[in-house]
């Protein structure tokens, strides 16, 4: 096991050593998770995105757009139903 040391600034910021960033596959703008274990240790790992963490990152569709999308779905369903009926010989 190797120990890599970094200095914390007065604002609580720490530079993650390049060897660790490379091993974890991290790039600028990646989020970092600090995990506290039951035995009193701390681990650092790339933060995983969850559905909860990205909710709101894409603006909702307006009513008009939603209607257009509903029309496309209905049209695709009708086309698929016709394809199935044709395949049945009807």
pLDDT in tens, the chain (90 residues): 889 999 999 999 999 999 999 999 999 988 899 999 999 999 988 887 777 667 777 777 665 556 677 888 889 999 999 988 888 875
- Assess whether 77 and 36 both reside in one domain: no
Instruction: Check the CA dihedral 18-21-23-26 and report its sign.
Output: negative
In a domain, 8, yes or no: yes
* CA atoms within a 13 Å half-sphere pointing along the CA-CB vector of 33: 10
Report the domain count for the chain: 2
> DSSP characters for 4-59?
---PPPTTS--PPPHHHHHHHT--TT--EEEEE-TTS-EEEEEPPP-HHHHTTSSP
Instruction: Answer whether residue 53 is part of any domain.
Output: no
Q: Please indicate, yes or no, if residue 3 is contained in any of the structural domains.
A: yes
pTM of the shown model: 0.49
Residue 70 located in a structural domain: yes
């Amino acid at each position: 096991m190797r120990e890599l040391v970094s200095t914390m600034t007065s604002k609580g910021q720490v530079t993650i050593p390049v060897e660790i960033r490379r091993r974890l596959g991290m790039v600028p703008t990646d989020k970092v998770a600090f995990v506290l274990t039951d035995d009193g240790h701390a681990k650092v790992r790339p933060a995983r995105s969850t559905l909860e963490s990205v909710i709101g990152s894409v603006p909702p569709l307006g009513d008009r757009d939603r209607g257009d999308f509903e029309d496309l779905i209905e049209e695709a369903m009708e086309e698929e139903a016709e394809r199935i009926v044709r395949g049945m010989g009807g």
